[in-house]
Amino acid sequence: MSKKKGSTQVTIFPDWCKGCGICAAFCPGKVMIVDQTGKAKVVREEECINCGFCELHCPDFAIMVSPKNGAPERDAAQDDGPAAPAPAPEAAPAPTAPVPKAAASKAKAQKTAAKKAPAKKAAQRDPNKKA
Ligand code: SF4
Ligand code: SF4
């Protein structure tokens, strides 16, 4: 947003203001005062430099600083053009569950038995062949 004097509109929402005076005390442009009704009131809007202090520090969110009609929301120098599209998130590898030790050794035993099985069967078919 522009930081040029006079380019902002300072709005105070009296229903939310509790009159603590933080905004009036710290505003560099002395834009507002706390009046006799105990509420903050804008008295010198043209002195606002759009520092944002009042908006940030009002404990009751009772102040809004916005660009005046036609004022740019941001400085042209700050405008870098449209934002580049965000890169697609990389696909995370699917987590592999650890194989329990007992299950792993059982599977190994089955594999070994399967390898030996054909030789054993062949030996059973040939009665002349000695084991
Ligand atoms: S800081 Fe907020 S609550 Fe306090 S006087 Fe200013 S507008 Fe009111
Ligand atoms: S933005 Fe800064 S200069 Fe403007 S009214 Fe708030 S505190 Fe004051």
- CB 42 less than 6 A from any atom of ligand 1: no
- CB 19 less than 6 A from any atom of ligand 1: yes
- CB 53 less than 6 A from any atom of ligand 2: yes
Q: How far apart are the first and last CA of the chain?
A: 93
pLDDT of residue 4: 79
Nearest to 62 by CA among 45, 42, 48, 46: 42
**Distance of alpha carbon 37 from alpha carbon 15, whole angstroms:** 12
Each of the 131 residues of the chain gets a pLDDT tens digit; together they read 567 788 999 999 999 999 999 999 999 999 999 999 999 999 999 999 999 999 999 999 999 999 987 665 544 444 444 444 555 556 555 566 565 565 555 555 565 555 555 555 544 555 565 55
pLDDT of residue 115: 54
Query: What Cα–Cα distance (Å) separates residue 107 from each residue in 24, 96, 103, 110, 117?
Result: 78, 17, 6, 5, 15
CA-nearest residue, atom 2 of ligand 2:
51
- Do the strands 40-42 and 8-12 form a parallel or antiparallel pair, or are they unpaired? unpaired
pLDDT of residue 92: 57
Return the CATH fold of 8-77: Alpha-Beta Plaits (3.30.70)
Predicted TM-score (pTM) of the model is 0.58
pLDDT of residue 42: 98
- CB 65 less than 6 A from any atom of ligand 2: yes
